[in-house]
Amino acid sequence: MKKIGWAGVVLLSALLLSTTGCANGVNSSSEPAVAPVAGKMTVTFIDVGQGDATLIQAPGGKVLLIDGGPKDGEAAVLSTLKTKGIKHLSVLATHEDADHITALDNVVNTYAVDEVYLPKMPTKATVTMERFANAVKAKGLKFTPAKAGVSVDLGVGVTAVLLAPVKDTYDQDNNYSAVLKVSYGDTSFLFTGDAEGESEQDMLASGVNLKSSVLKIGHHGSRSSTTTPFLKAVSPMYAVIEVGQNNYGHPTSTILNRLKSYGIKTYRTDQQGTVTAVSDGQHVILSTEK
């Protein structure tokens, strides 16, 4: 690895939903720091092509997989889990797009799973979503609604809280995306799925602390996400764009230029392969596959 620098179905699905300014300074926020436990937190932004899949390994042993990539990236997701020796994990599907959930049925079928988080949204009647929902049901699990205020258990020393979706209804499906902030010591990561401008505005209006060391750029670098006010509030030192060959123009020059203008070091899985971030609670080291 190249070390870079310093810095974590329609009915079936419905039934399964349980009710249960950009400165390159120290990666800290106004929130009280979470006292880190001994060990390191590893965040792997898996190169799945045009899609998202991110693996979080907390220092205490808890594991969370955020999204499962597209069909072409399914093998990469499963290979990463196997290579890292994962046996037990939770799953967060940020939303129902196929480029975010394709491997998740296989993951649920194969591994011991604690929780499966999914936003309540107009369910897409797709084969991919049906397989995912069937796998969850067959495992005796239910979807835990992913919405603002819900906490995800990543063990002692790590806090993981969903910041979005804030509202119950949106016109655009991408705005239902679950947005997760994970904090470890003085470092923090913000994972945004495909959340777009409306969701970003809702998070800003909610008054939640968005400041994060590393930002997973929303919607693969689409101009509809990563608005200037949102980017200023997050004020990341590093940004990661999960993207592959596509016909959408992702990532757009608008977003790339915006990140550059604020001095944010940016990593792209289409150019650098899988990106790995390791936090010791004080700093983040990022490395790339290529």
pLDDT recorded at residue 93: 99
Low-confidence ranges of the chain (pLDDT < 50): 1-32
* Type of residue numbered 239: A
What pLDDT does residue 38 have?
74
Domain harbouring 149, CATH code = 3.60.15.10
CB within 8 Å of 203: residues ≥ 6 apart:
148, 163, 164, 166, 179, 210, 230
State the residue range of the domain holding 265: 2-20+22-288
In this prediction, residue 118 carries a pLDDT of 98
The alpha-helical segments, DSSP class H, found in 139-268 are 197-206, 228-234, 253-261
- Counting beta carbons within 10 angstroms of the beta carbon of residue 102, is it exposed (0 to 12), middle (13 to 18) or buried (19 or more)? buried
Domain count of the chain? 1
Give me the pLDDT at residue 25, please.
Answer: 35
Rounded to whole angstroms, the Cα distance separating 203 from 290 reads 34
The predicted pLDDT at position 28 comes to 37
Q: Are 186 and 28 in contact (CB under 8 A)?
A: yes
The pLDDT, as a whole number, for residue 124 is 72
To which H or E segment does residue 11 belong? helix 10-16
pLDDT tens track for 42-67: 999 999 999 999 999 999 999 999 99
The reported pLDDT for the residue numbered 36 is 61
Q: Which residue, 150, 160, 159, 95, is CA-closest to 128? A: 95
